């Protein structure tokens, strides 16, 4: 059986050529049925040639709930009654204890995550965060520290760089043109982009992705893929919406595994050299098809759980990664 002509054309990525937005959208709209497996196979070839083996990281929800922002998908927004646990910043000792568990399991990338809009001034709480980051570095000098604490200024971005932060997570979530409609109107997408630029200026690498299943179109997904490409970040975490009771998106249908795999493949073709990480939704959406997704261009995962939902154990994922890297 011959390859679909659009997939044949997309093989140019293996030769170092770039996809255009129009070509990517055509793949998104027209590739279906048996041709999807051919698209996934191409994405995996691109991943193996340009992006390297599959890696894992772990994250800790250091401050939970009561967020002032109205992100429509989020259990931690103070605008919605979701029943999520709420607590202020964990102590340095609590964070170090959590990091030690994943470190002892062989994970060498640890994410420090808080709810809230962010830190544009170095207030007392931000200084407490810096002190905890110093403790983490002292305890685990060979562990890469990742942080996700919201919108920053150039000053706070610089301070994070000075306190051992290797990578920062700031997601676009969707097409920038539809951010206000699909995500939130209590802050602007431009503030997020400015944060990424400030971190790049300070020498911090970036992890910038989004969410599928918000009600976005294929065109929106392609727009997000190219917006992230233009930012030239190092990592791209992709989530699948977990509809949470109490949020405006509580009744959204869960995406089919084949649609998720297709979206990941397209992101790989647009961003061939980047770490594309499957974050929330891996277990709940893909279920028995997790391995298929990881062979559709992804080369990273979050292990051990997410901010407000559980994931697979670190040990199970370690074995999973060993087998996936054989393909």
- Could you tell me which residues are annotated as the binding site for [2Fe-2S] cluster? 146, 207, 277
Are 172 and 179 contacting, i.e. CB atoms less than 8 angstroms apart? Answer: yes
Q: Are 246 and 82 in contact (CB under 8 A)?
A: yes
| Backbone phi and psi for residue 49, each to the nearest 5 degrees, phi listed first | -75, -40
What's the CA dihedral at 72, 74, 80, 82 to 10 degrees? 140
Q: State how far the Cα of 172 lies from the Cα of 290, in Å rounded to an integer.
A: 24
Q: What is the Cα–Cα distance from 170 to 135, expressed in whole angstroms?
A: 23
Q: Which helix (H) or strand (E) holds 237?
A: strand 235-240
* DSSP per-residue codes, 138-179: HH-TTSEEEEE--EE-HHHHHHHHHTTEEEEE---BS-GGGH
> What SS3 state is found at 91?
coil
Query: Which residues lie closer than 8 Å to 182 by C-beta, 6 or more apart?
Result: 72, 173, 174, 175, 214, 215, 216, 220
For residues 24 and 234, what is the distance between their CA atoms, to the nearest angstrom?
A: 21
**Binding-site residues from annotation:** 67, 71, 74, 146, 207, 277
Return phi, psi of residue 288, to 5°: -70, -5
Whether 80 and 106 have beta carbons less than 8 Å apart is answered as no
Residues within the annotated binding site for [4Fe-4S] cluster? 67, 71, 74
In the chain, where does DSSP find H-type helix? Answer: 5-10, 21-30, 35-50, 92-104, 124-139, 154-162, 179-182, 189-202, 218-231, 257-270, 290-294, 314-324
Asked if residue 188 lies in contact with residue 149, where contact means CB atoms within 8 angstroms, the answer is no
- State how far the Cα of 183 lies from the Cα of 203, in Å rounded to an integer: 28
């Amino acid at each position: 059986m011959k390859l679909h002509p659009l997939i044949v054309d997309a093989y140019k990525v293996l030769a170092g050529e770039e996809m255009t937005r129009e070509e990517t959208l055509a793949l998104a709209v027209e590739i279906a049925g048996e041709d999807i497996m051919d698209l996934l196979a191409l994405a995996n070839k691109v991943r193996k040639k340009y992006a390297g083996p599959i890696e894992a990281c772990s994250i800790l929800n250091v401050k939970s709930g009561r967020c002032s922002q109205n992100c429509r998908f989020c259990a931690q927004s103070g605008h919605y009654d979701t029943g999520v646990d709420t607590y202020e910043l964990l102590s340095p000792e609590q964070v170090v204890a959590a990091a030690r568990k994943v470190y002892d399991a062989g994970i060498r990338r640890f994410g420090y995550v808080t709810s809230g809009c962010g830190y544009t001034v170095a207030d007392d709480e931000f200084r407490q965060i810096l002190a905890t980051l110093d403790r983490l570095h002292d305890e685990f000098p060979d562990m890469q520290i990742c942080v996700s604490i919201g919108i920053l200024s150039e000053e706070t971005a610089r301070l994070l760089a000075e306190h051992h932060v290797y990578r920062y997570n700031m997601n676009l979530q969707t097409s920038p043109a539809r951010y206000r409609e699909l995500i939130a109107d209590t802050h602007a997408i431009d503030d997020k982009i400015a944060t990424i630029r400030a971190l790049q200026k300070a020498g911090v690498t970036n992890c910038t992705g989004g969410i599928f299943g918000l009600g976005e179109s294929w065109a929106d997904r392609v727009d997000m893929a190219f917006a992230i490409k233009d930012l030239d970040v190092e990592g791209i975490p992709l989530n699948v919406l977990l509809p949470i009771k109490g949020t405006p998106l509580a009744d959204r249908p869960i995406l089919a595994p084949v649609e998720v795999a297709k979206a990941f493949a397209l992101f790989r073709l647009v961003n061939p050299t980047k770490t594309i990480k499957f974050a929330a939704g891996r277990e709940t959406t893909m279920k028995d098809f997790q391995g298929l997704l990881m062979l559709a261009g992804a080369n990273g995962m979050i292990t051990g759980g997410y901010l407000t939902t559980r994931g697979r154990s670190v040990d199970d994922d370690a074995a999973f990664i060993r087998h996936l890297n054989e393909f």
